[in-house]
Amino acid sequence: MQRRSIAIAGVELDLFEDGNGPPLLFLHSAQGFAPEHPYVPRLSADRRLIAPSHPGFGKSSLPDWIDAIDDIAYIYLELLDRLNLKQLDVIGCSVGGWIAAELATKSPASVRKLVLVGPVGVKTGPIDRLDIPDIFAIPQSEIERLLFHDPERMRADPSRLTDEQLAISVRNRETLALLSWEPYMHNPKLLHRLHRVTAPTLFLRGESDGLVSADYLAAYARLMPNASTDMIVAAGHAPQMEQPEAFTKKVLAFLGAVS
């Protein structure tokens, strides 16, 4: 795994790259990206995996001007230009799925195939109910129950993290709040832009995902002309962490061979 920092529009972007083959952009969830995550080896086995830490996440800096997911999509469009990538596959998990969807609406031709895993970013439900449960107003234990199929196994234990890891995890949550506080977990404009995304798109969710419901996923998928949905059993909001085998298998099968 190679790691380097790229300066884009005031962001010192922390970028991981691994493997050779057709390029694959991985946009992490609010949990952040780490090379030791269990899905990484399979994704980079036959692919050039490109995994930036979003501005304000991991070790990427957060300039004052960034306060929206939309801003980050533009950072990544510039990243693709810098890496001289005309077209590639994109996987986005949760808030990373939101970034991926924004990116795809802005530059549809850049995306060959798109995988959105428990994505947020649109508002499709009634006005008097949050589409995504308010993770900023419920107890940590409840968040874990919504996040995971098996909270006992998946829960992060602060005592096993270094101070640096703990600081990153706290900062990730802070940046998430900055980006998704209001409107909560969505950009009202995105819904009206998704028609532009013609790339084959797979919407995936863990069967036990308490944040992104099956109805939400289906409604989101209906906004794009070439989308399908699928599900991973015994997984919650982060199937890439909870069922990495099943996750990579489904994703790689969907992405298939690149001509």
User: Is 138 an interacting residue with respect to other proteins (CB under 8 A)?
Assistant: yes
Task: Give the side-chain half-sphere CA count within 13 A for 174.
Answer: 12
Q: Least distance to other proteins from the beta carbon of 181, Å?
A: 4
Residues 185 and 133: their CA atoms lie apart, in Å, by: 10
Q: Which range touches other proteins (CB under 8 A), out of 121-129, 159-167, 205-213, 243-251?
A: 159-167
Q: Which range touches other proteins (CB under 8 A), out of 92-100, 109-117, 177-185, 212-220?
A: 177-185
Residues 95 and 169: their CA atoms lie apart, in Å, by: 15
- Nearer to other proteins by C-beta: 30 or 232? 30
User: Is 85 an interacting residue with respect to other proteins (CB under 8 A)?
Assistant: no
- Nearer to other proteins by C-beta: 152 or 182? 182
The region that residue 118 occupies, defined by phi over 0 for left and psi between -120 and 50 for alpha, beta otherwise, is: left
Q: Least distance to other proteins from the beta carbon of 37, Å?
A: 21
| Angle made by CA atoms 244, 17, 30, in degrees to the nearest 5 | 55
Q: Least distance to other proteins from the beta carbon of 200, Å?
A: 36
Quick check: helix, strand or coil at residue 138?
coil
Residue 67 contacts residue 27 (beta carbons within 8 Å): no
Interacting residue ranges for other proteins, rule: CB under 8 A:
64, 67, 136-140, 158, 163, 166-167, 170-171, 173-178, 181-182
